[in-house]
């Protein structure tokens, strides 16, 4: 029952994004037979070090979506404090609903069933521009962001942007 409702909601969100694309990303299904796995292309935001990059990611939705959040993973190499070295995106709205047992996030910052694919991806674009280096998924990138911003961090991001353009 929950999977049927999730499928209907995901189908509707996909149709809305197809009819009214949102600047900064495009989204579609990895396989037309599976509404629970999406492929996303995130364009590096203008006026950021990621500008000009085209970064592929997957959004994997649970069967009980929207009660539980999807997981997002960059398939393209992506150097960022809030993206683990294996590509997992770590932002508040993708964390399980409720109170944070570590006290870093308020419940209202975490997953809420009102979020859509569009709000998730807009949050990811915002995260790209404004990393949270206090709660990093990639400690090395966070350290570079804080201590070597104009040198090593920029160089590593530029390398990811160049690699992302090789597949176009």
47 Cβ neighbours under 8 A, 6+ residues apart: none
Task: Give CA–CA dist 127/102, Å, rounded.
Answer: 21
Task: Give CA–CA dist 37/59, Å, rounded.
Answer: 6
Q: What angle do CA 134, 135, 139 make, to 5 degrees?
A: 90
Task: Give CA–CA dist 124/74, Å, rounded.
Answer: 11
Q: Please say whether the beta carbons of 147 and 64 come within 8 A.
A: no
Candidate list 90, 121, 125, 128, residue with the active-site label:
90
Beta strands across the sheet bearing 54-60: 25-31, 34-43, 54-60, 71-74
Residue ranges of E strands in 6-165: 25-31, 34-43, 54-60, 71-74
Tell me, yes or no, if 160 is annotated catalytic.
no
- Catalytically active residues are 90
């Amino acid at each position: 029952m929950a999977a049927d409702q999730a499928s209907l909601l995901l189908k509707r969100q996909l149709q809305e994004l197809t009819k009214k694309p949102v600047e900064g990303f495009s989204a579609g299904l990895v396989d037309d037979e599976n509404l629970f796995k999406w492929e996303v292309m995130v364009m590096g935001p203008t006026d950021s070090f990621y500008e000009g990059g085209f970064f592929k990611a997957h959004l994997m939705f649970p069967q009980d979506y929207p009660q539980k959040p999807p997981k997002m993973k960059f398939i393209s190499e992506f150097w960022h404090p809030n993206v683990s070295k294996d590509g997992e995106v770590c932002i508040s709205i993708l964390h399980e609903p409720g109170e944070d047992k570590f006290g870093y996030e308020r419940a209202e910052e975490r997953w809420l069933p009102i979020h859509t694919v569009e709000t998730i991806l807009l949050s990811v674009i915002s995260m790209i521009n404004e990393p949270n280096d206090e709660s990093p998924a990639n400690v090395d990138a966070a350290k570079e962001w804080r201590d070597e911003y104009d040198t090593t961090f920029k160089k590593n991001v530029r390398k990811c942007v160049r690699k992302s353009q090789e597949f176009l």
